[in-house]
Structure 1
Amino acid sequence: VKYMRDPKIGLYYHGYDASKKAFWCNKETGLSQNFWLRALGWYSMALLDTLSKCEPGEEYKAEYDNLKKVFVDLIDSMLKFQDESGMWYQLPALGGQEPNYLETSGSAIMAYSLLKGVRLGFLPESYRAYGLKAFQGICDRYLKEKDGHLSLGGICLVAGLGPEDNRRRDGSFEYYMSEPIVEDDAKGVGPLLLAYTEMRRLDG
């Protein structure tokens, strides 16, 4: 929160280098250039899973409440960038800037975090609709039947920053758009199944 969160829009940058020496970082802030959807999703999932394992006892109540606030603030910030389709873009803050695209894995993780957050009482019941919209948006856009089997597309295969000998991974808009978009990768299928599980659990 202290180093990676943008105070204006509430999203977290993909990377931070405390030494401010990495070729991909801003030499004044140490931050990378962009906000990457799947990293934001992973962070929301980690916050939620940590909260779900904690007991809000008096000894650590302040820390627990702060962790919950970080989670809720992130969700609220992400909702500002939810597309009308229900999904989020690969680089959420850059919306429909071509060739930015609606990405499956991060959108599925956000659907999971929204629905589980509602089920566990960390988010208001009204947020269920945002999670359902995300799930449905993925299915409508990228879940297709081929030869009697379902196939899930729109998944960013990988994205990262560095290392030094791979300067293509510089955190630029062009870099994120250059990584392969694939079908049926576990990083997309898994979160979609998790989101579906939360839908069923909410339905009782």
Structure 2
Amino acid sequence: VLENDNRYFEKAWQMYAHTRNVQGGKGLWNPADGLWWRDAAFCPPYKEPNGEDCYWSRGNGWVYATYVRVLDILPAKEAHRKAYLKDFKAMSAALKAVQREDGFWNVSLHDPNHFGGKETTGTALFVYGMAWGIRHGILPEKEYLPVITKAWNALATQAVHENGFLGFVQGTGKEPKDGQPVTYDSMPDFEDYGLGCFLLAGSEIYKLDATL
């Protein structure tokens, strides 16, 4: 964008396509589930205790937020924009389907009993992406606004302490079992994981609220 040079967009697509379709043998994106494996170590045959594939919440949150950052700057007629949008929409639907009743998402998106419970970082990143998608007319408001409303209310009322401390933040790791236990009072070894995600979510909720 800064250089007005499409070679940067092409290089970004090449790296994305390699990660999506090649890394680990067949790529880290599972189109059947609309979610991402964290890295090649978690591709099949790796399974969660319930036999499902391992989709780590914050890992998927990083990808989801990256769609927002990339699509925000891609020109409308950029060659690969439609492909990014297709994956963003597929991932949005997959995430909506596995939201917890309390508004949060579990650390393991397909195994709610594997360290299941409220978790802030993944939840906040999903709110960020969905709110952005609604605001830009990419995701249907009627379908996704209830999802992020429930999630944001959960974050704001159940994760934030009176002194501003943020609870339910999983610490450093690469999979559901890391950084446990994740509780309202537990202090992660690197709390910025939660603060940055929470602020991203809040910024998009604020912008969206101004348009409704």
Give distance in 1, aligned partners of 2:42 and 2:35. 17
1:75 corresponds to 2:86: no
Question: Corresponding residue for 1:41?
Answer: 61
Q: CA RMSD in A?
A: 2.2
Q: TM-score, normalised to structure 1's length?
A: 0.76
Give distance in 1, aligned partners of 2:132 and 2:178. 32
* Letter of the structure 2 residue corresponding to residue 177 of structure 1: K
Unaligned runs of 5+ in 2: 1-19, 22-26, 48-52
Question: Corresponding residue for 2:35?
Answer: 11
Question: Corresponding residue for 1:55?
Answer: 75
Q: Bigger shift: 181-190 or 125-134?
A: 181-190
Cα pair distance change 1:150/1:54, threshold 3 Å: same
1:179 corresponds to 2:203: no
Question: Corresponding residue for 2:207?
Answer: 201
Give distance in 2, aligned partners of 1:103 and 1:203. 24
**Identity over aligned pairs, percent:** 23
In the alignment, which of 160, 164, 175 is matched to residue 150 of structure 1? 164
Please report how far the alpha carbon of residue 12 of structure 1 lies from its aligned counterpart in structure 2 after TM superposition.
Answer: 1.1
Please report how far the alpha carbon of residue 156 of structure 1 lies from its aligned counterpart in structure 2 after TM superposition.
Answer: 0.7
Please report how far the alpha carbon of residue 105 of structure 1 lies from its aligned counterpart in structure 2 after TM superposition.
Answer: 0.6
1:141 corresponds to 2:158: yes
Unaligned runs of 5+ in 1: 17-23, 161-170
Cα pair distance change 1:25/1:150, threshold 3 Å: closer
Tell me if structure 2 keeps the 8 A contact 1:52–1:120.
no
Please report how far the alpha carbon of residue 108 of structure 1 lies from its aligned counterpart in structure 2 after TM superposition.
Answer: 0.5
SS at match of 1:94: coil
Give distance in 2, aligned partners of 1:5 and 1:78. 14
Please report how far the alpha carbon of residue 116 of structure 1 lies from its aligned counterpart in structure 2 after TM superposition.
Answer: 1.2
* Letter of the structure 2 residue corresponding to residue 12 of structure 1: W
* Superposition pairs of residues 78-157 of structure 1, within 5 angstroms: 78-95=95-112, 97=113, 99-126=115-142, 127-145=144-162, 149-157=163-171
Equivalenced residues, count: 174
Give distance in 2, aligned partners of 1:31 and 1:99. 17
Give distance in 1, aligned partners of 2:57 and 2:96. 12
* Letter of the structure 1 residue corresponding to residue 94 of structure 2: S
| Greater share of strand | 1
Give distance in 1, aligned partners of 2:166 and 2:62. 19
* Letter of the structure 2 residue corresponding to residue 49 of structure 1: R
SS at match of 1:102: coil
Tell me if structure 1 keeps the 8 A contact 2:107–2:115.
no
* Letter of the structure 1 residue corresponding to residue 121 of structure 2: S
Q: TM-score, normalised to structure 2's length?
A: 0.74
Please report how far the alpha carbon of residue 31 of structure 1 lies from its aligned counterpart in structure 2 after TM superposition.
Answer: 6.6
Tell me if structure 2 keeps the 8 A contact 1:143–1:150.
yes
Tell me if structure 1 keeps the 8 A contact 2:123–2:151.
yes
Tell me if structure 2 keeps the 8 A contact 1:44–1:71.
yes
Question: Corresponding residue for 1:167?
Answer: none
Give distance in 1, aligned partners of 2:207 and 2:114. 37
Please report how far the alpha carbon of residue 35 of structure 1 lies from its aligned counterpart in structure 2 after TM superposition.
Answer: 1.0
